[in-house]
Structure 1
């Protein structure tokens, strides 16, 4: 049996040794198949690339059709070529032979183990001898069967060796024959197209050579030109098809604390000035309407070629690359402004919101009217006042702008003129684009175009001045507005007697209750009452007493007793003083038109100002009106008390909130060394204490963060907004002791 094993091992070594031709051929076949598959994969990717190039060349019909046809032909050839790699010279009976070889090796090892065990069995242990002999006999029997199977598989392989190899090679050659035959037929069909394309290619090469010579000539011509002072050519084209009348690069100064300069692509389009950081970015609007802006040179900064575009809400500093380009941009902006006014493109500026019917009156301030105004837009609220449906100065319908210190509505052209007058004459705000505080809306509803025109146009007809009409030249409208508000040429000056009667009437007039911002509270301390008779100067006296506190006054009236005596002199300032106390905005506007100083001091009554009297009048709107007309929120009386002190003493939370928002200084002490905060703490007024402490914390936060946070904490802003809304809409909620 050992000789048989040696024979089998020698036969295996001969047939399957590494030097065997069959084994070597199998390895070469596997390598060729892998290389063929990689070749097909690369060819298929190449054909797909040609197909994509054909799709991108859709504008060139010749290139697109030719590349598509070539890609399809190559793809078909790749499919034919893939059939070659199904060939294999691996013998199909090798698996059975390998399994028989494994079983033979295993049984051989078991037989050797049985022989060793049988030899080691001791003679004095009969049971071990019998067991070893039994195992050896069984193992030899199994070994003979396995040897026969193994020899059978070797004989089968030997008999099929020549036939299988020749059959595989014949199949491989027939596959090549089919591949080349199909390729020949395919390219025979493609040959006419290739010949046609060859002829077209010759003409394309001639055209390309001609274009190359032309470009070289242009290049040489351009090189000879002097570009030492070259500027980009910019032209203003109002009829441009894309709506962009001018565009180009400019440097823009940022509005942050560092004032950095960034290069941006600017354009004038759709009556707006916009810029883009990148080409695909959405445009950022610098000026929403060029009719509301002006442009000017800037020579007072370090950089050259700078100019500034000033709009109603902001200004934008820009820098061109040269003086020529700066002048071109300035002319373009000016031309755009002129074109916009000339074309009268008002329809494009109108918003979808329409004004509601006019149902209010100049003096109406009832509760029902307030309910109808709630939930409406600023435009709808203001339009309820008669006369506000047209521009106050030129009569243009549907005005969308307003002057908040005058209380009038304006068209877009007149609003631009008002803005040019300066904020000390007129403060312009949009009725549709800006945010409106409740007190500002009430201010607009208290005045209106009718009231203001009765004051500022009282002598217009008498003087024979013509009021502008829609469509009149801008110069005429501007001249009329300056004469009306700056020179006050049409205001009727009252005589001394008329002024005296007006002041006496105001001093005796009960305060209107239509605009009571919040229920007043009894002051924490009772000022000393001055005698009603014998007082020097006959100044009005405000006396608090226990008897007055017992009077059944209307819920919104102040528990104050006013005694009026003849003053030394009557003046518009005194009219403003008493009008502020009686909450009469039309009389306040009339006094300002007659030349009253908004910070007029009543030297006969503790140096109080109209703003302090507005506080005692209990009206948030009159305080807002005076502040919009540049009243000093920190001006003190002879007691060292400013408006914030008086509002705190009276417990007027809404006015305290308003003064704090306008920058009132709460650190000032009166002659009794009391600050507004200490007064509020003594009065146990939680709302005012909260507001004062929040304002103090916000001021400290601004000081710590410096220029990076000029407005302070956002929570502070939200809280003050809530208090302001409550004081205007629901003042009863603030009446908490």
Structure 2
């Protein structure tokens, strides 16, 4: 044991040395360096304690017992040998005494004398032998007990010292554990961000690979940074071998410069562009070459393509013209104080700047800026970072766990920092908020069980409050028991006076209809050039969706009737419906009818109140052609109301009495954003109404190119999924396979053909 312990101490010392070396290597990170240093010192102390333990075991057990065996037991064995020898002599004397004959008195006397002497010696030695046995037995007891007691005292000291050492280290370890949890969360966020950037780069590269034209190369003579254009070019050396080297060139401050690496010093090729000229070179073996000639030298350069060569030539010519327009001395008034180009064509940095300009502030900041969202809607904990997306409230992490236990039919929980947020869902969260929803669910908190918990309340109190609030709904304002609430009052929306037998829209009208949407379709075909990001679950990129949502929420009602058909809004019903209906009207309405009217009037608060009071989200009004609240939301023109209903379980494929699903109505009214939303939520675009028309045929009849393109792309995506699905798994999503790449190419061809036909 001691030998194995010494080997363990030796290897432990090597491990501590490795930990300290690692601490020296991590000097740049204060957290890791401090952790390794403190833990290394503690482990070294533990090694010292182990060494002390083994030394005490050596002295108390091994050495003491070794001395007992070597000295005391050895003496006892020698005494036993002497005793055995004397006993044998006495036995021989007894034999001789017995054999002495009577007629020989001298032999008898001699044998008797020898026996007497031997017996005396035997008795003395026997006493010594018995004494040695008793002494050895007594000493054995206290020797064993003393050695084991000393060893256990050593063990006690070892563990006591170890406990004291680790007890002093315990606060730091708890602090480090808390920091480690945050580091894990930060690492997950960073990983998600890097994966998103990686997917964006791959998508951009994919779209560029399948675009028919190269991305347009632009230069800016009046750039604020002073860099007109920059990029990689091959430069022919001036040595005898005429070798070609790839360098990073830039035109800045009326000079042509290059550098070998990012942080290298700039090398000036042309000091003053006003004194040089540029021309393409077709008389050399290499392609895409051009020459910059100055009074003292010439520089042969090569671009990667013909378009890049033309761009560089035009950039140099434009820089020459710009230098002449400036004052003669202006070119020398500014020095090259840059050690590297302002832009290294970093895809990540460009993507980040674009996203920052589009998104503005983060999801967390945008949602927390809503009234009441600075603290948890259920317990008041500040800085909530979780949300219930179907209830529209922000929650702390503990309350979010309680909401999860309620089930997704009651509350759908999502993280504001770790999950991705669709634009429509983010806008929905910004429209609701803790203040609005608590005015509904906490309208009457008086009475037993009505005390709202705080952030420091026990979990069971919070759980009881949340169940009473959202499941039992004990704190809702009790509606008056009026007869009007037993059955809905008659309330019908005017029917859409659409003439299905009208002739097809002339080509001239279709052309006028298509002009406003051409930029968006063209944006799809040029997605590789503008570096847009696409998601698998969305056919439009997020910024396009965001603009569509803003349009359909803010300007759909004011946009006026479409030219393709007379909708419900064009019949004058929207204005009549938008008349004020106050709280008294709300209390008198049946919850189902209230949900219908709120969805049509785009009143999210009233709709949330109706659902809280038990309105069926898929209730069909038999007196209004079996329309559901989702269909009323389509007619009202609010995409956010549609999103709210879908999050609360609305059936996207439920049809009215005319066989029309919400997708049919959105297509008929030209609501592109709603069509996109319904397709994302699994709407059946092959469903036929009673007139045997599917959404695509309606969109073609209405000459709405946006929706036609959207539905056809969705149909192509569905066909690709079915084609890529393995046997027995119809409709499985295709991965990044060659077939999916071919699907991207088909999308580009379809857009081009669609524009030509239009």
Larger Rg: 1
| TM superposition score normalised by structure 1 | 0.42
Q: Which has the higher contact order (CA 8 A, sep 6+)?
A: 2
